[in-house]
Amino acid sequence: MPRAGIEDHMRRELGRYLKNLTVHARALIRLSIQGAVTRPGFYAVPTDLVLADALMVAGGPVQEAKVDRLRIKRHGSRIWDGQKLQTEIARGATLEELGLRAGDQIDVPRGRDTESSVRIVGGLATIAIAVCMLSGC
């Protein structure tokens, strides 16, 4: 049964036994949201949620997150990434529209910490200068 039809299906089936029935139902899928988010983990989220909102369930991207390099994997293989995924995010595609299934992984990569890189390079340069001074360069 398509996820979108779950409410009507439940209304019909339960209506056989109950009168004046009001049914509200939302299909959920369990996703792994990993990488540069505040609270990585597994989350049961509604299928009509947009991808950006799914990231917010995990606390949102951290400062060094590279959301433009976001990727979605299924069984270790990428099913969404790159410009195609960015276009779908900009369009406001839902998890259902992206065809996500239970067990899929949303991976938010971390960017390089340029401040740490500068400190490492600076430290190496300081060591090189000190060695040169000691050896009489």
pLDDT surpassing 70 at residue 132? no
Give the pLDDT score at 24.
84
How far is the first Cα of the chain from the last one, in angstroms, to the nearest whole number?
77
Give the pLDDT score at 38.
97
pTM: 0.71
Give CA angle at 55 (1, 115), nearest 5°: 155
Q: Hey, what CATH class is 3-135 in?
A: alpha beta
Q: Structural domain boundaries of the chain?
A: 3-135
Give the pLDDT score at 127.
56
Give the pLDDT score at 68.
92
Q: What is the pLDDT of residues 79-129, one digit of tens each?
A: 999 999 999 999 999 999 999 999 999 999 998 655 544 555 555 555 556
Q: Are 10 and 23 in contact (CB under 8 A)?
A: yes
Q: What is the pLDDT of residues 7-57, one digit of tens each?
A: 888 889 999 999 988 888 888 999 999 999 999 999 999 999 999 999 999
Q: Are 102 and 44 in contact (CB under 8 A)?
A: no
